[in-house]
Amino acid sequence: MNPRDEAEQTAMTLSSHWIVGPGALGRLIALRLTDHARATLVGRRPPSPIQRLLTPEGETLTRRLAVAVIGALPDETPAIVHLTTKATTALAACDTLARALPADTPLVLWQNGVGSQQAIARRWSGPVLCASTTEGAHVQGDLQVTHAGHGHTFIGALDGRHGGLASQLADDLSLAGLPSELVDDIGVRLWRKLAVNAAINPLVAHFGITNGELRNPPYRLHVEAMIEEIAAIMAAESVTPPEGDGIDGWRQLVWQVVDATANNLASMLQDVMAGRPTEHEAILGPLLAAARRHELSAEHIQMHFRYLAARQST
Ligand code: KPL
């Protein structure tokens, strides 16, 4: 560990967290952390301070959170800021935060996809961590969030620095009920999650089905076609699946996630149903760019990208 990281580890208590982006994940993090640290939920509009969490075990937890709006931030310095907005609005939110916070404030990025993290890491002057999570959550209105299933969160910096801070954050999140671990290859973890999101989300968003319905014909064939293109792109980018080799490893991973989240409405389908912009640029954009770089066919990925882009512009 380098001396700066060591100093961070001892100096940092992470006693106060700002969670910027009061969607399902942001509210889940705030509600889980608030029994252990000061957690402030920050939105573009004032989030409701009273929030209910339905746990995977069927409990209902009601908590009063500190809340703030991004345009009028409190005059205090958080130990760490969690950015849980969509990838599309993350950079703008960071620019606003940068004007209000000390330059060395640590930031943790929870965005899906690949690309927004690199752009923010280049702009933010303090430590930047990335988180890749399989926690599943969805909201019911402004007051309630359902923690649909327990997952796991990987945390690390893209350049491998700030190990002390990342490990402290992983401990704090784990203690709060969100099992987390420090990893030294967060870039690879982000690509793996992107691969899974790309194979599932555009299809369920297009057909309006649960993740589990992808196992049935004719959807199954669409998933397989996506996996084929994704596996070739991942191989060209030297990103390996977590288990197994090549396309078989990616198949195994995608179908495992489909089984584990069978009853879920994926985030992209929730966005479509709510009339919100989808994250197709953050999830499919990097795959298309890589396919172009390596001169690979990405016909199906392209088709889904066009469909989602056209939906948004109407
Ligand atoms: O992460 C997801 C999402 O809903 O965005 C899963 C459930 C893995 C589907 O891609």
Domains and CATH numbers, the chain: 3-184 (3.40.50.720), 188-309 (1.10.1040.10)
The better pLDDT of the pair 157, 262 is held by 157
d(CA 30, CA 234): 34
Quick one: pLDDT at residue 231?
98
CA of 87 to the centre of ligand 1 (A): 14
Quick one: pLDDT at residue 204?
98
Longest dimension (CA), the chain: 56
Choosing from 27, 193, 251, 300, the catalytic residue is 193
Quick one: pLDDT at residue 312?
86
Q: Are 138 and 146 in contact (CB under 8 A)?
A: yes
pLDDT in tens, 196-246: 999 999 999 999 999 999 999 999 999 999 999 999 999 999 999 999 999
180-182, strands of its sheet edge to edge: 66-69, 38-43, 16-20, 80-83, 107-109, 128-133, 153-156, 180-182
**Residues β-bridged to residue 17:** 39, 80
- Atom 8 of ligand 1, nearest CA residue: 197
Quick one: pLDDT at residue 148?
87
Q: How far from chain centre, in Å, is Cα 38?
A: 22
Q: What percent of the chain has pLDDT over 70?
A: 96
Going by pLDDT thresholds of 50, 70 and 90, the confidence category of residue 13 is low
Question: What number is the average pLDDT over the span 97-114?
Answer: 97
- Atom 2 of ligand 1, nearest CA residue: 266
Residue 247 predicted with pLDDT over 70: yes
Going by pLDDT thresholds of 50, 70 and 90, the confidence category of residue 75 is very high
CA of 103 to the centre of ligand 1 (A): 33
Active site includes 193? yes
> What's the pTM?
0.92
- Atom 7 of ligand 1, nearest CA residue: 266
Quick one: pLDDT at residue 10?
43
Q: Which of 111, 196, 256 to mutate to test the pocket of ligand 1 (most atoms within 8 A of CB)?
A: 196
Q: Report which secondary-structure segment, H or E, holds 107.
A: strand 107-109
CA of 159 to the centre of ligand 1 (A): 26
Q: What is the dihedral of CA 11, 14, 18, 24, to 10 degrees?
A: 150
Ligand 1 binding residues, C-beta < 6 A = 196-197, 200-201, 211, 257, 261, 264, 266-267
Q: How far from chain centre, in Å, is Cα 58?
A: 24
